[in-house]
């Protein structure tokens, strides 16, 4: 039986406060580590936090919207693979991300935190 990758649960309220206090600089870090946590849980090469951030930056945020939709889809794959209750928040994440990317990160982080706390 293959060993399952684990990630640490992250404090969403703290990450939001730090993102606001640093005028979004901490949000960049959060985006990158969240993507890398999803990659670790999924096993594979995608998503890549640094590349996704750079693509989002050079497309003036348009690629971030793709990420806000795609990352929850990756999480659904992880949930199905692990036999955990599936909660697809991709549409919510995308719609909220149009105006408030930080809230999308919180929604996605919440789903990753649920996976992090499951003991299977």
Q: Is the pTM of this model over 0.75?
A: yes
Would 3 be classed as within a structural domain? no
Q: Up-side HSE of residue 2: CA atoms within 13 Å toward CB?
A: 8
Would 101 be classed as within a structural domain? yes
Cβ atoms 98, 65 nearer than 8 A? yes
pLDDT in tens, 6-42: 888 999 999 999 999 999 999 999 999 999 999 999 9
Would 2 be classed as within a structural domain? no
pLDDT in tens, 41-99: 998 889 999 999 999 999 999 999 999 999 999 999 999 999 999 999 999 999 999 99
Would 5 be classed as within a structural domain? no
From the list 14, 41, 8, 12, the residue with the least C-alpha distance to 106 is: 12
Q: Which domain holds residue 57?
A: 12-117
Would 22 be classed as within a structural domain? yes
pLDDT in tens, 87-101: 999 999 999 999 999
Total structural domains within the chain: 1
């Amino acid at each position: 039986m293959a060993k399952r990758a684990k990630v640490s649960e992250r404090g969403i309220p703290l990450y939001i406060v730090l993102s606001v206090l640093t005028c979004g600089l901490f949000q960049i870090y959060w985006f990158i580590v969240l993507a890398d946590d999803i990659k670790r849980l999924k096993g594979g090469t995608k998503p890549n936090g640094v590349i996704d951030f750079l693509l989002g930056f050079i497309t003036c945020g348009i690629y971030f919207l793709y990420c806000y939709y795609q990352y929850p889809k990756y999480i659904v794959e992880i949930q199905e693979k692990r036999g955990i209750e599936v909660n697809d928040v991709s549409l919510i994440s995308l719609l909220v991300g149009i105006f408030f990317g930080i809230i999308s990160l919180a929604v996605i982080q919440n789903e990753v935190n649920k996976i992090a706390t499951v003991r299977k």
